[in-house]
Structures are given as C-alpha cells and as structure tokens.
C-alpha cells in the first residue's frame, strides 16, 4: 500500500475545545497537556513562541514558568477565545499563519509546536519560520503522532493518516530526518521528556528536542 496524505482542512479549535470539555472536563487532550507541562519545566525565565497555540491553554501552561509567551494561531475564533479566557500579562496571542509568520528573526529562546505540524500542508515553510525566529542557541520542542504506532510486525503503516485533520503522519525516523534538514541536533523523547527514544520507537506521540540551527 502506498502512503497517501490528506488535504489540509480548517480545524475549528474552539468547537473542538468545547467538545473535549463537555466529554472529559479537559481543555487539552492528555498527551498534549503532558508535553506542555514537561516543556514548561525546561523553559524557566525564557522567551517562548507557541506556534499553533489553538485555544491558548498550552501557552498559559508555559507562561507559568517562562518570562513571556507569544501564541501564534491562524484560526481567528481560537485567538479570540484565548485572548478572552487567558488574559495574562506575560502572554499575547497573534492571529497569523505559522507558515507565514511576521515575527522578527532570532527573537525567541525556544519555539514550541505541540501536535500541530501534522496539520500543515506546507510544513517546510512552518519549520523554516520556526528556525528563523529562534535565537542561535535556541531550542525547538516539537511533537507529532508516530505512524509506527499502528504498525504490525515491525513495518510502518502505509495507509492514509488516521485522523482527517492530519495532512500526514511520519514514523519517528521520518520525523527526525525532516527535522535534521533544519537542525544539527535532534533527539526524540516520550511525552514526559524523561525517556530518550530510538528512531524505530512505536511510542506516540513523539517529541523532538532540536538545537544547533543549520
């Protein structure tokens, strides 16, 4: 079977957030919140850009430890929701496409992209923007589903992405290879950031910590 990508779809983060809230009384799915909380412990007193910030809770979690956080989100309703619900002094939310970001070069100590890159058709532009706005010694924290989670007998799943809003789903090895086009140092971790993973892992989602810009 040949692997096929899905088209990029508009994702109404506000409606999705309220559906999750009604179902489980949570504004973020467990793996996402777990990753944000783990990253927050590593960005104390740093300047952060949260790309694909959605309803704003992830940026708010980061802001508990970070010096300042800028959330970038292309869905206007999500930005309005975040601004109204999370009016913190050290957080601001921008209505922009992450693949066409207008933020200044080398302006952040860290960029965070949690469960967003798989939704973006022009992912290379988004990664290029993330690299551009990072300071030279900055760090990218990025996660994505692992296509190998559905593998059988060690072979990677070759069908279309599991969720219709996912344009693509990489294996951990493929994900690392893409990130090495922008960074010299790419390490893979589980959602708690406590276990280093091999490129052949079946853990999902996979979190990559990237440094040393090319």
pLDDT tens per residue, range 129-147: 999 999 999 999 999 999 8
CATH entry, 27-213, from 3.50.30.30, 3.40.50.300, 3.40.50.150, 3.40.50.1970? 3.40.50.150
Per the listing, tokens 């300042």 go with 68
Q: Are 78 and 13 in contact (CB under 8 A)?
A: yes
How far apart CA 73 and CA 95 sit, in angstroms, is 5
CA distances for 128 relative to 112, 122, 140, angstroms: 14, 10, 12
Q: How confident is the model at residue 30 (pLDDT cuts 50, 70, 90)?
A: confident
pLDDT tens profile 100-134? 999 999 999 999 999 999 989 999 999 999 999 99
Q: How confident is the model at residue 213 (pLDDT cuts 50, 70, 90)?
A: confident
pLDDT at 161: 66
Q: How confident is the model at residue 22 (pLDDT cuts 50, 70, 90)?
A: low
**Other residues' Cβ atoms within 10 Å of the Cβ of residue 103:** 17
pLDDT at 75: 87
How far apart CA 62 and CA 149 sit, in angstroms, is 28
Judge whether residue 2 has pLDDT over 70: no
Of residues 209 and 23, the one with the higher pLDDT is 209
Average pLDDT over residues 184-201: 97
**Which pTM was predicted?**
0.88
pLDDT at 166: 82
Q: Provide the greatest CA pair distance for the chain.
A: 51
pLDDT tens profile 168-190? 889 999 999 999 999 999 999 99
């Amino acid at each position: 079977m040949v692997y096929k990508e899905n088209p990029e779809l508009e994702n109404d983060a506000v409606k999705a957030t309220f559906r999750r809230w009604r179902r489980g009384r949570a504004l973020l799915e467990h793996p996402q919140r777990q990753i944000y909380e783990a990253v927050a412990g590593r960005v104390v007193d740093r300047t952060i850009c949260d790309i694909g910030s959605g309803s704003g809770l992830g940026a708010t979690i980061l802001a508990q430890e970070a010096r300042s956080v800028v959330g970038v989100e292309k869905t206007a309703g999500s930005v309005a929701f975040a601004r109204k619900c999370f009016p913190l002094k050290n957080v601001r939310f921008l209505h922009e496409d992450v693949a066409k970001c207008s933020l200044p070069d080398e302006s952040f100590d860290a960029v965070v992209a949690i469960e967003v890159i798989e939704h973006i058709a022009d992912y290379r532009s988004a990664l290029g923007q993330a690299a551009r706005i990072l300071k030279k010694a900055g760090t990218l924290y990025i996660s994505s589903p692992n296509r190998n989670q559905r593998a059988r007998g060690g072979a990677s799943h070759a069908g279309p992405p599991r969720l219709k809003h996912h344009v693509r789903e990489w294996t951990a090895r493929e994900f690392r290879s893409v990130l090495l086009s922008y960074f010299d140092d790419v390490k893979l971790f589980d959602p708690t950031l406590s276990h280093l993973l091999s490129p052949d892992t079946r853990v999902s989602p996979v979190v990559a910590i990237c440094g040393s810009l090319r």
